[in-house]
Each structure stands twice: as C-alpha cells, then as structure tokens.
Amino acid sequence: MGTLTVNQNKLQKRLRRQAGEAVADFNMIEDGDKVMVCLSGGKDSYTMLDVLMHLQKVAPIRFEIVAVNMDQKQPGFPEHVLPAYLKTLGIEYHIVEKDTYSVVKELIPEGKTTCSLCSRLRRGTLYTFADEIGATKMALGHHRDDIVETFFLNMFFNGSLKAMPPKLRADDGRNVVIRPLAYCNEKDIQAYSDFKQFPIIPCNLCGSQENLQRQVVKDMLQEWERKTPGRTESIFRSLQNVIPSQLADRNLFDFTSLKIDESAASRFVNVVNL
C-alpha cells in the first residue's frame, strides 16, 4: 500500500497500541512462544495477523508466528485465496482440511442456528493441530465487541456472568488461547480491513443466518452506543472490575459467615434535642 493518510495512520497506531497493551496486561505472549494465529478469512483474523506481525518486529522478546486456516469444505469456498495472500507475507502457514460442514448440515435441522456446533468442531480440530505443531499459544481474532456481546448472551440465555477472557487455558490443559484484539473495537477493525483491502472470505454456513441471537444483542448494543456513546467501553471495563461481595455468587464470596465486626468503630451519633 502507498502512504497512509493521517486518519489511517492514527487508526493503525491505535490498533497496534491497544493490541500491545492487551498482550502486556495479560502476559499473552512470552519469550520463545510459538503462536498459532487462527485465520478464518474474515476482517478480525486478518487484522490480528497484521498487528501480531508488527508486534513481532518491535517486541523486546522473540516469538514465532504460524498462520493456520481450517478449510471446512463449505461449497464454493475459494481455497486459493488464503494461501496466495499468506505467500505474499512470507510466513509459515498451514491449511487444515476437515469436513465439518457436512457434519453440521447433517445434525442441525434446516432453519436452526449452526454456530454452536460449528465452533465446537472447529475448536477441537484447531486445538489438536496446535498440539501437533508444538504451538504454545493459539491466537483468536475476537475483539472487544465480541466479548461484550458474549457477556450479554450468557446472561440472557444461560443465566451466567461470563464472557470471552483475553487469555484462557483450554479444558484439556494443553492449549492456551489468547485474544490480542480484546481492547480493540469492531468499528476500528472494519475500517482497518477496508483500507488494507484484505481478501475477505465470507462464511456461507453461519454468517448469513437471520435468527442468530448474537445479532440481536449486537443490534441492542449498537443502539445503546448510538444513544450513549462510550457505553460499550464502560461495559467492557466492568468485566475488569468485578466486586464479588456486591453480587450473589456464594462460591465467590462467603455470605454465610458474614457477621457484624464487633471490633469496628461505632457510628452511633448522639442526637441533641433542640
């Protein structure tokens, strides 16, 4: 690309700074790490790879980057796009072929959302491949808005307060997932993807489903943000500022043993009748 405009330069610096802060705050990448960057062909994962390649150049530590895409055998999937793009970057990459598309279409009734099963199958395959190539970290392209949306989805439909942590050890104990874009907002990522002209590959399995609850939550948050700018950022900050004693989870706070502190100073005030 040619010389960046002032706004493009500011955008690039902001994304790089926010990703760098997230990596540092959560100790996502350590010296000697082999980071498997999971590419879907969407704007988020392209941006993540771009930012991590920059961090690799300027970071005071050394780490490897390996790009990995999972070809789920969706009809019409343009198999040549990602390899052609990755060759121009000159980095190591792998295309993992696994026909999860047929499995999802067979098991999920027509008209039902496929994301849950699709993501589980994809995640399991990628976890296994990360172990095979000796990756110490597995980078996913989820951003701040994804994290906030997931928080509300879990609260509305699962009755739990949880989201997508910036860093997570998988249930198998053998994989550590990192989300370097955790501090970045989707609007910036979209703008960055547009001017970088990443070769976007649309998902025709789930991306076009109209009945996704995530889209309902996304619309809700966008409306809130329109009426009260900064609200999404405030919600995200709340996920970093949890006060268990002000909630109701008995596993996080010992409400049962809570009693008066007999040693505390009295707050009694003498009332003088006037």
- Going by the annotation, the residues of the binding site are 115, 118, 206
From CA 140, how far away is CA 142, in angstroms rounded? 6
In 3D, which of 166, 170, 164, 163 has the Cα closest to residue 136? 170
> What is the phi/psi pair of residue 77, to 5°?
-65, 125
- The two tokens of residue 176 are 């550590």
CA dihedral 115, 118, 119, 125 (to 10 degrees): -170
Binding residues for [4Fe-4S] cluster: 115, 118, 206
Residue 170 carries which DSSP code? Answer: -
- State the number of CA atoms in the 13 A half-sphere of 264 facing the CB: 7
